[in-house]
Amino acid sequence: GAVVSQHPSRVICKSGTSVKIECRSLDFQATTMFWYRQFPKQSLMLMATSNEGSKATYEQGVEKDKFLINHASLTLSTLTVTSAHPEDSSFYICSATGAYSGANVLTFGAGSRLTVL
């Protein structure tokens, strides 16, 4: 229970193109979703927090025009990397929090590996 699915798990794109990554809560309503970025052999850095129906709150140093986050429903948030460049190559992980079976849960997706050529 309390499953979060990320898609795609891997994506390769050319420099200058845009890539969309989806984060879905499959069996619960996610009132809040979080997007993290993980560099190789490093920790997860929070990029932004998104609440359903409102604008995302970005962490300091994260370009909101570069990393567009949309949380249009209680089960879906998307991260769009616009005009991607090789330095955007990374592992992007989402997490979702909400009520499941009477308890508040926090679940992570399996991550999406982006490679920009």
Partner 1 sequence: GNSVTQMEGPVTLSEEAFLTINCTYTATGYPSLFWYVQYPGEGLQLLLKATKADDKGSNKGFEATYRKETTSFHLEKGSVQVSDSAVYFCALSDLPNNQGGKLIFGQGTELSVKP
Q: Which two tokens stand for residue 113?
A: 């590996």
Shortest gap between Cβ of 83 and partner 1 (angstroms)?
26
For 26-111, list the strands marked E by DSSP.
29-38, 44-51, 57-58, 67-73, 76-81, 90-100, 103-108
Give the residue with the Cβ less far from partner 1, 32 or 82: 32
Residue 87 exposed, middle or buried by CB count within 10 Å (0-12, 13-18, 19+): exposed
> What residues make contact with partner 1 under the rule CB under 8 A?
6, 32, 34, 41-44, 46, 49, 93, 95, 97, 104-106, 108-111
Shortest gap between Cβ of 78 and partner 1 (angstroms)?
17
Shortest gap between Cβ of 97 and partner 1 (angstroms)?
5
